[in-house]
Amino acid sequence: MPDEPNISDIADERSVAQFLDALGSNAPTPGGGAACAVAGAMAAALAEMVAQFTVGKPAYAADDASMRAMIERAQHLRQVLLQLVTEDERGFAAVSAAYRLPKATEAERTARTEAIQAALQVAMQPPLQVMKYGCEVAVLALAAAEAGNTSLASDAGCAALFAEAAVRAAGLNVLANVVLMRDTAAAERLRRQVASYEQQAAGLREQTMRHVNGHLGR
């Protein structure tokens, strides 16, 4: 799977209300994985907003170039994370299809088991990508809190909190697939990767909130 989804493939144009209606329904998708991706995209948009209110301001001229770069990166991450909503739904569909395979004979059972294990590998990629990009968004949130317009410090804090939430929640979706894996060595590597992303996001959130709380007089 490529490191970054092809943004031109984005097809999900649902409104927020439509997405929440679907999320709250008894349909299997969208689910938690899609919600994580949306949370990460919201975090990116919040970091972008802080930068948008910083560029062109004489008081922040020294950081103008970095803020413009942040806007560009945040916009890209926002689009990538939204694409992962669709990718997560495809991953779930692949696992569901594998579980529906026939299992009347030994050969069918073997083929079904192999298909399920392969589908699990596919299904865990979107939440892993959400964790990766969520940590990148958390880096932007920290930069927004450090050098962005202090009038939007609370928004930088919200970006950090949403980013960490996206990372941690996506980790649960990875682990939901990991517990079904038969390759115990690969499963352990994935658990360590999840823990690493979680630790990174938590550290970035803690740094960000120190700046934010200072701006807010806490």
Quick one: what percent of the chain has pLDDT higher than 90?
Answer: 90
Q: Is residue 26 situated within a structural domain?
A: yes
Q: Is residue 206 situated within a structural domain?
A: yes
Range of the domain at 178: 7-215
Q: Can you give the pTM of this predicted structure?
A: 0.90
Domain count, the chain: 1
Q: Is residue 142 situated within a structural domain?
A: yes
Is the pLDDT at 11 greater than 80? The verdict is no
- CA dihedral of 80, 83, 87, 90, whole degrees rounded to 10: -170
- What number is the average pLDDT over the span 120-130? 96
Exposure of 139 by Cβ count < 10 A (0-12 exposed, 13-18 middle, 19+ buried)?
A: buried
**Residue 14: its pLDDT value, please?**
67
Is the pLDDT at 20 greater than 80? The verdict is yes
Q: Is residue 81 situated within a structural domain?
A: yes
Q: How far apart are CA 70 and CA 55, in angstroms?
A: 10
Q: What is the DSSP string of 1-64?
A: --SS--GGG------HHHHHHHHTSSSS-S-HHHHHHHHHHHHHHHHHHHHHTTTT-GGGGGGH
Q: Is residue 1 situated within a structural domain?
A: no
**Closest by Cα among 129, 218, 120, 135 to 176:** 120
Q: Is residue 2 situated within a structural domain?
A: no
Q: Is residue 72 situated within a structural domain?
A: yes
Q: Is residue 208 situated within a structural domain?
A: yes
Which alpha helices (DSSP H) does 100-152 contain, by range?
106-147
- CATH number assigned to the domain comprising residue 95: 1.20.120.680
**Residue 13: its pLDDT value, please?**
58
